[in-house]
Every structure is written in structure tokens, then in C-alpha cells.
Structure 1
Amino acid sequence: MAKESAKAVWETCLEIIRDNINYQKFKSWFEPIKPVKLENNTLTIQVPSQFWYEWLEEHYYNMLRSTITKVLGTDGKLEYSIVMEKSENPIDERSVRMPQRPVPPSKPQNLTGYSGHNPGSIQNPFVIPGLKKSKVESNLNQNYVFERYIEGDCNRLARSAAMAIAENLGNNSFNPFFVYGGVGLGKTHLIQSIGNKIKQDYGDEKSILYISSESFTNEFVHAIRNNRASEFSMFYRNIDVLIVDDIQFFSGKEKTQEEFFHIFNALHQDGKQIILSSDRAPK
């Protein structure tokens, strides 16, 4: 009975939450949450990881607090059941319980966040808890700039579009920007030129990341093996300018394609710039 009651209460909460945030964020952060129990007017919900708990508390504390108050009354409380060790059998999963903070976090703590990236040079710009933003290593080659890019009749349109993106970040008609061309024609130089120009103009204000499709895939596999898929996803969803080279190598990798699809949609909906290159024409 308590289980059914918890489910009903949480569904009511979700209806309120759904009306207050965009669909993508609702689907990403709230749909995976499971109601556990309702006891002594305290609703316990299960979240997939410590990272998840910290993100909700940092970004949605006020909304969750007011929603619980509206549904359960002024004495209503929220408690988290955090999955610490996943198992194929839900009964074997290990979790810890954490109450919602009595007040919103005043300032982020300086703890290490997701660092399980294969390249090693990519650092998570968000730390746990508080998800404090820090410098992101862009992986850009500083030699790839517009001044060194050779312009001709065959690439003039692509270069003009690239310049428009770099000079009007967040206010251009080329998002996503897809560059297609044969091997050795300067695609990598052009897309990295955009990143270097934005970095020059904005400094550390904008997080810019250049990555090959192969490195992206390797990171994703590594994250899954280490039960850190949610950290991986949120790292990429919070990049301001994402540049992915040679996306043709995603072909045949269904799980990677699915993850990239969700990241792509989240970034695009938030108005973040997406830049892609391929040596194969889109189908």
C-alpha cells in the first residue's frame, strides 16, 4: 500500500515538475527516478547515482521543495535513496539514503568530478557536489586558425559559414554545422578554426571541446564499464561548443549513436553550438 501511495504521490509531483522545465531536462533528470516509499509524510525516491543526487539538489532544490510542499503539505519531506552499486538483480543493489538539504547549497564544494575519460586531457567542467564550473581543455590545435586556412572557390561558402558561427556564437543560422568533404581537404582545420576563434574571443567563459568520433566512442565504452554513464552524458550536455570530427565512424555503433543522439538533442535544445565533420555525405 505504501509503495502504491508513493507512486501516486510521485506521479503528482511529476505533473507539476513537467510544467516547470523543458521536456528534454524532464526526460533526462526526472523520468528515471523511481518512487520507493511514503512513510511519516516523507517521500523516498531512488536516483541512479551520487552525481544525480548532487545535480538535483544543486539545480532543482527550490522546485522540488515547493513541489513536495504543495503535494504533501508544509510538513512534507523528501528523501533520496542513492544507488551506490548496481546489479542486474534490483534486490542486490546497494544504496544509501540521504535527506533533502534543509536549505539550498550556499556554495559549491571543491571535490573531484567525472574524470574517467580515455584521452586523459579532457577534464570535467563540473565537480560534485555543487558542480562548480572550471576550465575545460579544448583539445584544439592552435595552428588551425582562419588566418592559415587557404580559401578557394570550392570552400568559400564553408569558410564564410564557419566565420559566421565564430563571430556570432548563439546567434547564427548554422546550428548544427555539418562539414562534408573528402579526405585531406581541410575539414579538421576549418572546424578547429571555429573553436580557436571562439576561445580567443571568449576565453574560459565558454567551454569548447574538440573530439574525434573514435575518442568519443572509447570514452563512452569506458564510462559504461565503470558505471559512470550519467557523468559522461552530463559532461557533454554542458559543453557550450561541441566539435566532433569524422562522425562517419559512428556507423554500426548503435549504442554510441543512441547516446550521441540524446546529447545532440539536449545541446541543440539549449542553444549550444554543434559542429560536425564527415567524409561521407549524410543520408
Structure 2
Amino acid sequence: MRVRNSPASDLERTWDRVLERVAERVSMEDLHQLIRPLRPTAVTPAQFQLEAPNRLVLHCINDRYLPAIHASVAAVLGPRQVVIQLPLRSQGELFPDTGRRRAERRARPLHGTLNPKYTFANFVVGASNQFAHAASKAVASQPGGHYNPLFIYGGVGLGKTHLVSAIGHQILERNELARVAYLSTEVFMNDLISSLRRDRMGEFKERFRRVDVLILDDVQFLAGRERTQEEFFHTFNALYDQRRLIVLTSDKVPKDIHGLEERLRNRFEWGLIADIQPPDVETRVAIIEKKAEMEGIPLPNEVALFLGSELASNVRELEGSLTRLGAHASLARRPITVEFAREVLQTVLKPRVPSVSFDAIVDAVCTHFSLRPIDLRSKRRSRNVVVPRQLAMYLCRRLMSASFPHIGELFGRDHSTVIHATAVTERRIKEDAAFQATLERLERSLREH
């Protein structure tokens, strides 16, 4: 008698075929540790449905691996939407969602969606972003008053979207009836094209010119789009004349956006321009600890210090790496240690440089500044000793790949002093060309010997 295959076994075999395709696009470690634990639950003509074991894994998959899974499903089954969900009983696991439910009950923006996690309360303020943060708080407290428009610029993943979303949240908290439009320049442009095609430009103009707040992300993509610039120019004027708040973000200042009409460039400069720089070590550590607290990841302080010093300055990459680390730890049921972090994140950690000895660094710094090694380890706080000491600590971090606590032991200080010294030296390098030249000479001589 022939036994027919059950739907469940057919689904598992389909998932195995998808995994074979996924294996061509991701590392074997990520395949087995993060993707294989997903469980297929259903397949329809439109969807391929999967279940993630917990929220950390769900967030990590959506952030890094969804395109690979989507392409693999398409190769096996044809085009389908990939939907990944949590088991119903696990909705509260690892990521408390009471804050999200409260945020969803608030008034929603007219256009687009404000990320419920992107609030001022969740934004970590440091030297690299404190001016942009203060400006955002100011415009949120008095929309359309001072600093209109607010133009925030900075590199990818540094927190621009977080800040402008926080502005929208705070305005809606104070006035649930406020008409807030939040969208990317691409969405604005596509909406314009659709309205032109359907001969509904009247509706388009009415929709955007009656808002109380317009938040437009990535305005550098207006460059070269003459029709879109024309329409946005009139939208800007209408809102500005009504004292409605306009908030813009870009990866560069208005004058550096090539292909942007002069009349728009001038208007972008009417209000306040604030920049966001890559965060220093102290801010990176604070961001990692805040993210771990929000997502319920048990992260020891020494691991936060390690991640803050070894990972890139891009905030989005910092948070993504932490989520990946937490997902691996939850699936492997292992505590998060420095060695475990090094193992999981080896592909994104800074490459190790040839080690230079502590004594060689101290000798080079002392020779240059006419000091004795004992001076750097002393308690003296005069500037002629403090600056060389901070520089030596910075070089130990850069050339020895030593941890903050270990450097602190070598100099007879605690790790917080070393973090401060590193941050101060990084700022001094940016502000003082002569100091930067001194550092480069010292580093070059140490690497050559």
C-alpha cells in the first residue's frame, strides 16, 4: 500500500531545498546558527511563511538575511512574499512590547510610519551629536517657530532618521491631532509620479500642503529630478509661509548637493543646519549598552567596552552587530563574553594590526616630549604630562589592540580614564593639525621598528 506524504513533510522538504539555495549566499555558521532554526509553517501561491524562535532572531533575520531567503524561495517556488513571524505564545519574549503598543495607540502620522523605538528617550547623546539633538528638541517643542527649516546632515547610519522621527513623536505626544507627514524623498517622488500619471495633482498638492509638520528624509535624492524639485519648491513655500515645521535630512550640506536648484539650496539654508559626526568610543559604548537594555540582552560591561572599541563608528552597524550577537547567544544558550563576541563577529571586527610593545610606545612618546617613563605613570596633571599620557594611551589602543582595563593597569589608572583619554585624543586629532602630524610621525616610527 502506498503511503502519501503528509503536508508537513512536503513543507519540510521544500524548506530544505530553500536552505540549499541560502547556503550559496551566506556563511555556513550563519546558516546553521540563525537561519536553520526558522520553522516553515505554510506555503501559499503568494507567501512562504516562517516562524522564528524568538524576537532577537526575528530582528536579526529581517535586518541581514531576508533578501537571501527571499531570493532562495523565489528560486525554488517562484516569486513569493516571505513572512517571518513569532509563535503566538512568544510574543513577549526577549523584547518587551508594551512600549510599542502604547506608541501604536498614539495618533499616527498622515504619511509614512514613525518607528516607535526612535524617540528622544532612546537617543544616546554624545559630543558627536549633541548639537543636532538640542536643535531637534527645540523645534519639537515649538514647531514652526525658530530654526525652520531644520536641516540635519551626516553619514549613513549615524542617527539622522532617529532624531527626525523623535521630533514627530514628541509633537504627536503634545498634540494628537497634529498632522505630521514623515516620508523619504523616494516616496515623495514616487507619489508625485503616480499623481501625474493619474491626473490627480490637485490631491497631491492638498495632501502635502495642509500638514503641520513635513519630515523629508534623504533630500540629496532630489538632485537632478527637475519636476520633483519644482513641486517640492512650491510645497516648501506653502508650508513655510504658514509657519509649518519643515525637517530635512541629507548625507551632505545643501551647498554640496550637486544637481540641486539654487532656489531650493537657498531655502534649505534659511533655518538651522546641524551635523551628526561618527560617535566617539564613549558614545559607542553608551549606545551599545542602551540598545542591550532595550532589547533585554544580558551584556557584561567588558563586552560593551570591547564592542565599542572594536566595531565601526556607524551606529546602525553597532546595533546590528549587537542584535546578531544576542541572537547567536540565545540560540546557542551561551553567556555573552568577549571571546564569544570575537567568535561571532569576526567578519565585522576591525582587522588586527601588528602588535607594538607597551615599552616601545612609552619610549617613543617620552623621547618626543622630553619626559621620563615614570612621568607617564605618575599622578602629575600638568598639561605637559597629561597630553603625552593621553596620546600614549591612544597609541596603546591603536597599535596594541589592548583592552581599556589592561591599558589602565599599565598606566595605573582605571578603564574610564583610558576611555576619556582616547576620546580626547580623537577630538584633538581632528582639531589640531600639528598634533595630528605628531601622532602620524610617532605611529609611523613605531610600525617601522
The alignment's TM-score, normalised by the length of structure 1, stands at: 0.51
Paired residue for 1:185?
A: 158
Paired residue for 2:209?
A: 237
Question: Which of 131, 136, 139 is matched with 1:162 structurally?
Answer: 136
Question: Which of 168, 172, 192 is matched with 1:195 structurally?
Answer: 168
> In structure 2, what residue type is equivalent to 1:183?
V
Paired residue for 2:19?
A: none
| 1:252 pairs with 2:231 | no
Paired residue for 1:140?
A: 114
Assess if the C-alpha contact under 8 Å between 1:138 and 1:208 holds in 2.
no
Deviation per CA, 1:30-80, whole angstroms, max 9, x where unpaired? Answer: xxxxxxxxxxxxxxxxxxxxxxxxxxxxxxxxxxxxxxxxxxxxxxxxxxx
Aligned-pair CA distance for 1:142: 1.1
> In structure 2, what residue type is equivalent to 1:224?
L
CA distance in 2, matches of 1:181, 1:137: 24
> In structure 2, what residue type is equivalent to 1:222?
S
Q: Provide the identity percentage.
A: 44
Q: Comparing both structures, which one devotes a greater share of its residues to helix?
A: 2
CA distance in 1, matches of 2:143, 2:211: 13
Deviation per CA, 1:98-149, whole angstroms, max 9, x where unpaired? Answer: xxxxxxxxxxxxxxxxxxxxxxxxxxxxxxxxxxxx9835521111000111
Paired residue for 1:151?
A: 125
CA distance in 1, matches of 2:215, 2:185: 10
| 1:216 pairs with 2:188 | yes
Paired residue for 1:267?
A: 239
Aligned-pair CA distance for 1:169: 2.2
Aligned-pair CA distance for 1:167: 1.2
> In structure 2, what residue type is equivalent to 1:181?
G
Paired residue for 1:281?
A: 253
Assess if the C-alpha contact under 8 Å between 1:145 and 1:190 holds in 2.
yes
Assess if the C-alpha contact under 8 Å between 1:177 and 1:274 holds in 2.
yes
Aligned with 2:247: secondary structure? strand
CA distance in 2, matches of 1:185, 1:281: 15
Assess if the C-alpha contact under 8 Å between 2:109 and 2:180 holds in 1.
no
**Could you say what the CA RMSD is over the residues aligned between the two structures, in angstroms?**
1.5
- 1:48-63 aligned within 5 A: none
CA distance in 2, matches of 1:174, 1:196: 18
> In structure 1, what residue type is equivalent to 2:122?
R
Assess if the C-alpha contact under 8 Å between 1:208 and 1:239 holds in 2.
yes
Which 4+ stretches in 1 moved above 4 angstroms?
none
> Using a 3 Å threshold, how does the CA distance of structure 1 residues 152 and 166 change in structure 2: closer, same or farther?
same
Aligned with 1:178: secondary structure? strand
CA distance in 2, matches of 1:246, 1:255: 17
> In structure 1, what residue type is equivalent to 2:221?
F
> In structure 1, what residue type is equivalent to 2:175?
Y
Aligned with 1:140: secondary structure? coil
Which has the greater radius of gyration? 2
Aligned with 1:188: secondary structure? helix
Assess if the C-alpha contact under 8 Å between 2:144 and 2:246 holds in 1.
no
> In structure 1, what residue type is equivalent to 2:113?
N
CA distance in 2, matches of 1:233, 1:181: 30
> In structure 1, what residue type is equivalent to 2:128?
C
The alignment's TM-score, normalised by the length of structure 2, stands at: 0.32
Assess if the C-alpha contact under 8 Å between 1:242 and 1:273 holds in 2.
yes
CA distance in 2, matches of 1:250, 1:194: 22
CA distance in 2, matches of 1:274, 1:137: 14
Aligned with 1:209: secondary structure? strand
> In structure 1, what residue type is equivalent to 2:140?
A
Aligned-pair CA distance for 1:243: 0.2
> In structure 2, what residue type is equivalent to 1:215?
V
> In structure 2, what residue type is equivalent to 1:253?
R
Q: Comparing both structures, which one devotes a greater share of its residues to strand?
A: 1
> Using a 3 Å threshold, how does the CA distance of structure 1 residues 137 and 222 change in structure 2: closer, same or farther?
closer
CA distance in 2, matches of 1:192, 1:135: 10
Assess if the C-alpha contact under 8 Å between 1:144 and 1:190 holds in 2.
yes
Aligned with 1:267: secondary structure? helix
- 1:16-165 aligned within 5 A: 136=110, 139-165=113-139
> In structure 1, what residue type is equivalent to 2:153?
Y
CA distance in 2, matches of 1:175, 1:241: 11
Deviation per CA, 1:167-189, whole angstroms, max 9, x where unpaired? Answer: 12233x21100001011110000
Assess if the C-alpha contact under 8 Å between 2:109 and 2:181 holds in 1.
no
CA distance in 1, matches of 2:111, 2:204: 16
CA distance in 1, matches of 2:252, 2:144: 27
